[in-house]
Amino acid sequence: MRLIPLEIGRLHTDLQSLTGEPGTIALPIPSWLIEHDRGLAMFDTGMHTELRTGTERIGPWASKVFEPDLPDGEDVTARLGQHGIDPTDIDLVVFSHLHFDHCGGTVEVPNARIVVQRQEWAAGHHPKLIEHHVYNPDDFDLGHEVQQIDGEHDVFGDGSVVCLPTAGHTRGHQSLRLELASGPVVLTGDCVYFERFLDDMTVPQFGYDLDQQRDSMRELARLRSEGCRLLYGHDAGQFASLPAEGLT
């Protein structure tokens, strides 16, 4: 099994909106390609290519807070192509959650089965949350086969890729554990944006349930203390340090 990081552009934002500190920051928008004997999977699909030309689809709040940066050559189709993969060959997409920067590229992988927590899929269709642009079903509800799961889930049935519920950032947020030959890895998603957030238990204020998110962070910290390597949701330094050919 191989885990390949794909950077689907960046979001520029004020650090203020995340931590209350001054300054600006570029958040890498990760999608993760998983090459497994039983199929090709992705964990999250990054941003929609429409964000190149306008931010209408993410609504006024996100447009004010985030400036999308998705150059040619960094969309899902281009990133997969750089690894010799046709997007129609992606079998599975596992969503950490359904915010626009985690599922916007789903339209580019038409044959994938979606794996998502039942609570997240329900939240993503809540009329009030759609009205307030927390979710946009046009990112994720596009006619793909959808497998709604409840709690831990063994993606390939061999224990090598397992969904771990880490609710709090959103109602049905999940992380993904992979048993690589080099050791266990957990993709934290937005449960933990940066490594230092886990060290000082910083939680951005716009989550769904911040206490629940802290509980999920403690669980990830426990896995880290047991030797799991954590790969964080938007950690520019860590992301840039990963080998382009991926981890095995």
Q: What strand order describes the sheet that includes 113-117?
A: 66-69, 2-14, 24-36, 39-43, 92-94, 113-117, 146-149
Residues near 81 by Cβ (< 8 Å), separated by ≥ 6? Answer: none
Rounded least distance, CB 183 to Zn ion, Å: 27
Element (H, E) at 181: none
44 binding Zn ion? (CB under 5 A): no
Q: Which of residues 176-205 bind Zn ion (CB under 5 A)?
A: 190
Using CA atoms, how far apart are residues 47 and 30, in angstroms rounded to an integer?
9
- Closest residue by beta carbon to Zn ion: 99
| Closer of 75 and 190 to Zn ion (Cβ) | 190
User: What pairs with residue 149 in β-bridges?
Assistant: 117
234 binding Zn ion? (CB under 5 A): no
108 binding Zn ion? (CB under 5 A): no
| Closer of 5 and 124 to Zn ion (Cβ) | 124
| Closer of 1 and 239 to Zn ion (Cβ) | 239
Rounded least distance, CB 149 to Zn ion, Å: 19
Query: How many residues belong to the site for Zn ion (CB under 5 A)?
Result: 2
Q: Which stretch, 39-47, 92-100, 109-117, 143-151, contacts Zn ion (CB under 5 A)?
A: 92-100
Place of tokens 């409840």: 150
Q: Which stretch, 97-105, 156-164, 203-211, 218-226, contacts Zn ion (CB under 5 A)?
A: 97-105
Residues near 127 by Cβ (< 8 Å), separated by ≥ 6? Answer: none
| Closer of 99 and 177 to Zn ion (Cβ) | 99
| Closer of 140 and 247 to Zn ion (Cβ) | 140
Q: How far is CA 47 from CA 57, 103, 104, 136, in A?
A: 11, 7, 4, 12
Strand duo 92-94 + 39-43: pairing:
parallel
Q: Which of 36, 48, 99, 153 binds Zn ion (CB under 5 A)?
A: 99
Rounded least distance, CB 216 to Zn ion, Å: 13
DSSP letter assigned to residue 192 = -
Rounded least distance, CB 169 to Zn ion, Å: 6
Using CA atoms, how far apart are residues 173 and 3, in angstroms rounded to an integer?
20
| Closer of 65 and 228 to Zn ion (Cβ) | 65
Q: By CB under 5 A, name the binding residues for Zn ion.
A: 99, 190
